[in-house]
Amino acid sequence: MKKSILALLVAAFAFAAAGTGGASTQSPKMAASALVKCGKTRSLGLLAPITGPAASLGVEQQRWFNYYISRYNKTHKKTKFKGVYGDTILAGPGGTAEAVKAAASVASNSSVLALVGPAGSNEVIATTPTIKNAGLAFVSGSATRTTLTTDGQRTGYFFRTVPPDSVQGAAVANFIVKRQKYKRVYIIDDQEAYSTGLADFVQAKLKAANVTVGRDGVSQQQSDFSSLIAKIPRNTQLVYLPWQVADKAKAFADQMRSAGRSSIKLMGSDGLFDPAFAAVNGAYDSFFPINAKDKTILAYEKAHSGHGEFFGAPSYVAAQVIGGAVDKACKNGTASRAEVRGLIKKTKIKKSLLGLGVRFNANGDIRGGTFGIYQSNGTEFKPI
């Protein structure tokens, strides 16, 4: 009896150990160096919240990712790309577990040589072991937590096409303190890693400049802000919302208006650079120095009923980065994930549609990343 229990325990342990090893059954080194026949159609991976509470963001990223693929496929007759998708369900009840499952699923597809995403910083942290084990490079178009590239956990594997919170936060604090000379600011984060990181950074900078700062948070699933608005002191000059869901920020602005607080200015972050938040006349926002007249952006808008969906634009650039690297690696007909990673490190794009050139530093951050400040005229954001 004891022997059979022991055998069962050993079997269960072995099964569990196999299960926690991720999707790849190869060692990390083998997975990274395994040569794949490129063929005519090559696969690019995407990890994004395609469903769940943050689906509106993930769908924008997916559309821009697909837009890169469709443009590439139109202009290249001999080679084609196809997308392999993983749904990370950001901010869903399963936490980051869904992102890990999605990463394992995409990584187990040996034809995927690199991937775009994940969208959120928490998802990046959670999926790092799985993606690294598979030897894949991952390029995010929205994960901005500063430590993602400085903690040494994913150097050489992780890259991003957006500057980190430290760059955006400094630009925002500078605008509030030096340009607007505001003295009373209220910061409301949306409880996601992106938002709290940025809010913490700006709060520290403002406090250091002797600005009176109030702080609160709301869930991304929350739509009733009336109690929170009642709590904001009436003499507040600016409410800073480093959020990712522009429609929620629009609802917040509407409820501010209902509560007779429309004289308080609102300011958003790059996650709110969207027509929904631009509908709030006079609102400020920080974003990359994007060129709204860029022909790629204009063509995208034309193909998507006039909607720029700018939150997803950096994912286009991320797709451009991995697509370029896969193309180069496949020149001799075969490529490995390690080869693609090496080529991504050497990326050189003179000017992307974000208004920035794309070259990565040793940590995987974009070199010379900057943020601009914009103000809404009621329909769109204009640089100020």
Partner 1 sequence: MNWSLFFDLTVSGLTLGSVYALIALGYSMVYGILKLLNFAHGDVYMIGAFLGYFALQGLGGPGKANVTAWFAVSLMFLASMLGCGILGVVIERFAYRPLRNAPRIAPLISALGVSFFLQNSALLLFGASFRDYGTFELIGGKTYQVGKNLFFSVPQLLTFVSSIALMVVLTLLVARTRIGKAMRATSFDREAAAMMGIDVDRVISATFFIGSALAGAAGVMFGLVFGQIYHFMGFLAGLKGFTAAVIGGIGSIPGAMLGGFVVGLTESYATGYLPQGSTFQNLYVFSLLIVVMLVRPSGLLGRADIKKV
Q: Between residue 60 and residue 89, which ones bind partner 1 under the rule CB under 8 A?
A: none
Q: Which amino acid is at 143?
A: A
**Binding segment toward partner 1, per CB under 8 A, in 12-20, 50-58, 123-131, 294-302:** 50-58
143 φ, ψ (degrees, to nearest 5): -80, 110
246 φ, ψ (degrees, to nearest 5): -65, -35
With a CB cutoff of 8 Å and minimum separation 6, the contacts of 219 are 190, 191
Residue closer to partner 1 by CB (options 186, 288) is: 186
Q: Which amino acid is at 301?
A: E
Binding to partner 1 by CB under 8 A, coded x per residue (else -) over 146-185, reads: ----------------------------------------
CB 25 → partner 1: shortest distance, Å? 31
User: What secondary structure does DSSP assign to 12-35, as a single string?
Assistant: HHHHHHHHTT-S--S-HHHHHH--
CB 156 → partner 1: shortest distance, Å? 34
CB 91 → partner 1: shortest distance, Å? 9
191 in contact with partner 1 (CB under 8 A)? yes
Residue closer to partner 1 by CB (options 232, 335) is: 232
Residue closer to partner 1 by CB (options 309, 339) is: 309
Q: How many CA atoms lie within 13 A of 26 on its CB side?
A: 17
Residue closer to partner 1 by CB (options 157, 277) is: 277
Q: Between residue 215 and residue 274, which ones bind partner 1 under the rule CB under 8 A?
A: 215-219, 221-228, 230-231, 245, 247-248, 250-251, 254-255, 257-260
CB 230 → partner 1: shortest distance, Å? 4
CB 134 → partner 1: shortest distance, Å? 28
User: What secondary structure does DSSP assign to 327-339, as a single string?
Assistant: HHHGGGSEE-HHH
Long-range contacts of 249-256 (CB under 8 A, 24+ apart): 249/276, 249/277, 249/280, 250/276, 250/277, 250/279, 250/280, 251/223, 251/225, 252/188, 252/225, 253/277, 253/280, 253/283, 255/224, 255/225, 255/226, 255/229, 256/225, 256/229
Residue closer to partner 1 by CB (options 259, 292) is: 259
Residue 371 near residue 381 (C-beta atoms within 8 A)? no
SS3 83: strand
Per-residue DSSP letter, 360: B
364 in contact with partner 1 (CB under 8 A)? no
Nearest Cα neighbor of 280 from 239, 313, 316, 321 is 239
51 in contact with partner 1 (CB under 8 A)? yes
301 in contact with partner 1 (CB under 8 A)? no
Residue whose tokens read 């500078």:
174
Would you tell me the crossing angle of helices 55-75 and 295-303 to the nearest 10 degrees? 110
Cα 283 from Cα 244, distance rounded (Å): 15
93 in contact with partner 1 (CB under 8 A)? yes
Contact pick of 58, 197, 268, 324 for partner 1 (by CB under 8 A) = 58
198 in contact with partner 1 (CB under 8 A)? no
CB 38 → partner 1: shortest distance, Å? 33
Residue closer to partner 1 by CB (options 132, 248) is: 248
Binding-site residue total for partner 1 (CB under 8 A)? Answer: 38
CB 58 → partner 1: shortest distance, Å? 7
Residue closer to partner 1 by CB (options 52, 129) is: 52
Q: How many CB atoms lie within 10 A of CB 113?
A: 28
Residue 103 near residue 127 (C-beta atoms within 8 A)? yes
**Binding segment toward partner 1, per CB under 8 A, in 31-39, 53-61, 177-185, 341-349:** 53-61
381-383 and 334-335: which strand pairing? unpaired
265-268 and 238-241: which strand pairing? parallel
53 in contact with partner 1 (CB under 8 A)? yes
Residue closer to partner 1 by CB (options 248, 341) is: 248
Residue 28 near residue 338 (C-beta atoms within 8 A)? no
Beta bridge partners of 42: 81
CB 54 → partner 1: shortest distance, Å? 9
By CB under 8 A, name the binding residues for partner 1. 50-53, 55-56, 58-59, 93, 188, 191, 215-219, 221-228, 230-231, 245, 247-248, 250-251, 254-255, 257-260, 276
